[in-house]
Amino acid sequence: MSPSDDTQARVIAALSGASVRRVTTGQTILDGIDWSVRSGEHWALLGANGAGKTTILRLVGALMFPTAGTVEVLGHRLGTVDVRELRAAIGLVSSAQKVPVDLPGHTVVLTGATGTVQPLWKKYDEATRERAHALLTELDCKELADRPYGVCSGGQRARLLIARALMADPSLLLLDEPFNALDLPSREDLIDTMHELALNRPELATVTVTHHLEELSPAIGHAVLLRDGRVQAKGPVADVLTDAGMTACFGRPIEVTRHEGRWLARSGRR
């Protein structure tokens, strides 16, 4: 039974009429978004540049507030809760995260326990250090424990950042273009990692922002298509990732195929 079929699956995040407008220019970034994520669900956010994907991720990550509507995360409505405590219970992975290049992999993961850029050594007891080692093993990168972050490949860095995000044992993991600039082998390794993570952590909910269907692991069961700050389509991937849906979202003819749980999108002639 999938999480969406389970009536006991709890709502992890919910947006109701959520809009974001830039005060200085009046520009609408998001317009009346209604969307929810339940425990164990794995969502993809897709759309062209400027569609509003990262803004939704920032709302769900309690990094910003809507200018209209409501956002609830982990049972708390933004604006009525200390967002610093809320953020500590949310895992965030972004290729834009700043990590000191001289830190070894184990230390990078350790900093996830304190949510800091630099390690706070007095905060890490033996159990915390062991947890970091266990996560390196789970993410199949234990060989990176002593390797400086700066000499790790893009794929290795991505796995370290995911391990770091899992240090707080979050209910929600947000991934903002985690495949950015990865070569093909690194991309496939990371897709395998995300698939295994979903299998090993059935209660964890994830939301992945990406531009490419090829980057979706077989674990992704739901998708949102965004265009110009509005939801074009949302729901199970089989209903959303269609030729017609992708064509309407991206504004040019797109053909979608699926093989053994993996997706491929190709653009035809106009």
* Residue 270 pLDDT level (bands cut at 50, 70, 90): low
Q: Which pLDDT value is given to residue 94?
A: 85
Q: For residue 5, is pLDDT > 80?
A: no
* Residue 4 pLDDT level (bands cut at 50, 70, 90): very low
* Residue 116 pLDDT level (bands cut at 50, 70, 90): confident
Q: Which pLDDT value is given to residue 25?
A: 78
Mean pLDDT of 244-270: 89
Q: pTM of the entire structure? A: 0.90
Between these two residues, 106 and 94, which has the higher pLDDT value?
106
Q: Which pLDDT value is given to residue 231?
A: 96
Q: Annotate 63-90 with b (16+ C-beta within 10 A) or e (fewer).
A: beebeebebbbbebebeeeebeebbeeb
Domain ranges of the chain: 3-89+173-267, 98-169
For residue 104, give the nearest of 131, 124, 133 by alpha carbon. Answer: 133
Q: For residue 81, is pLDDT > 50?
A: yes
Q: For residue 113, is pLDDT > 60?
A: yes
Between these two residues, 205 and 50, which has the higher pLDDT value?
205
CB of 234 closer than 8 Å to CB of 217: no
Task: Match 């309407």 to its residue by tokens.
Answer: 248
3 state SS of 127: helix
Q: Annotate 233-260 with b (16+ C-beta within 10 A) or e (fewer).
A: bbeebeebbbeebbbebbeeebebeeee
Instruction: Give the strands of the sheet with 42-47, arranged side by side.
Output: 90-94, 172-176, 205-209, 42-47, 222-227, 230-236
Q: For residue 199, is pLDDT > 50?
A: yes
**Mean pLDDT for the chain overall:** 91
Q: Which pLDDT value is given to residue 269?
A: 65
Token couple for 165: 């995000």
Q: Which tens digit of pLDDT belongs to each residue from 222-233?
A: 999 999 999 999
For residue 253, give the nearest of 232, 241, 268 by alpha carbon. Answer: 268
* Residue 7 pLDDT level (bands cut at 50, 70, 90): very low
| Homologous superfamily in CATH for domain 3-89+173-267 | P-loop containing nucleotide triphosphate hydrolases (3.40.50.300)
Cα–Cα distance, 261 to 186 (Å, whole number): 19
* Residue 89 pLDDT level (bands cut at 50, 70, 90): confident
User: Strand 11-21 vs strand 68-73: parallel, antiparallel, or unpaired?
Assistant: antiparallel
Bridge partners, 266 (sequence order): 255
